[in-house]
Amino acid sequence: MQPIVLASSSPYRQALLRRLGLDFVAAAPNIDETPLANEAPEALARRLASGKARALKDRHSNALIIGSDQVAWADGERLGKPGTFANALAQLQRSRGKTVTFYTGLCLYDSATGNEQLAVELYQASFRDLTDTQLRNYLIREQPYDCAGSFKCEGLGITLFESLAGDDPNTLIGLPLIRLTSMLRKAGIDPLANAT
């Protein structure tokens, strides 16, 4: 079986991939994630997912490399990782009462053959119209400053939403496991093949 490489240093993506019970190594792809001029969010997510996987092909020449990237989009604007309390508060203030769409690009790249499976999964998060005090309290408690959109839906961040819509809740965290499982099976790896 080919080794599996996750092209990410994200602890969130690594934790998600561990759920499948497969052995893998993680490596940072170190690519330029700057959007191209007028690049649509879906195209950006697709390009970055593929770029991350392909960036590791020289270091891992006979591996299945998983690349993933997420673009949060609201009112024609990209919501990146806030980095600070002030930036996170501003993001949540802009998002309250609105629906934010998350485009998560996923690529499974076979570095031995050059074969690539590529998809973009969508997930929509409709935010409650919360007060500044509620938003501040959330940020103080969870400190999601390394998360696009300024929340962790797997934690207290779930209280920020009126509703969530999409095929796979893992997509919102950053790695669509349902689609990835299909891609892995197509590449000859079934997480349910062995009981040990």
d(CA 100, CA 136): 19
Neighbours of 155 (CB within 10 A): 13
- DSSP designation for 159: G
69 is catalytic: yes
d(CA 171, CA 67): 13
Nearest to 171 by CA among 49, 87, 50: 49
Joined tokens for residue 52: 């991350």
Joined tokens for residue 29: 């792809």
Catalytic residue among 69, 110, 132, 146: 69
Q: What is the dihedral angle through the alpha carbons of 161, 165, 168, 169, rounded to the nearest 10 degrees?
A: 0
Tell me if 157 sits within 8 A of 142, measured CB to CB: yes
Joined tokens for residue 87: 């930036």
Instruction: Give the catalytic positions in this structure.
Output: 69
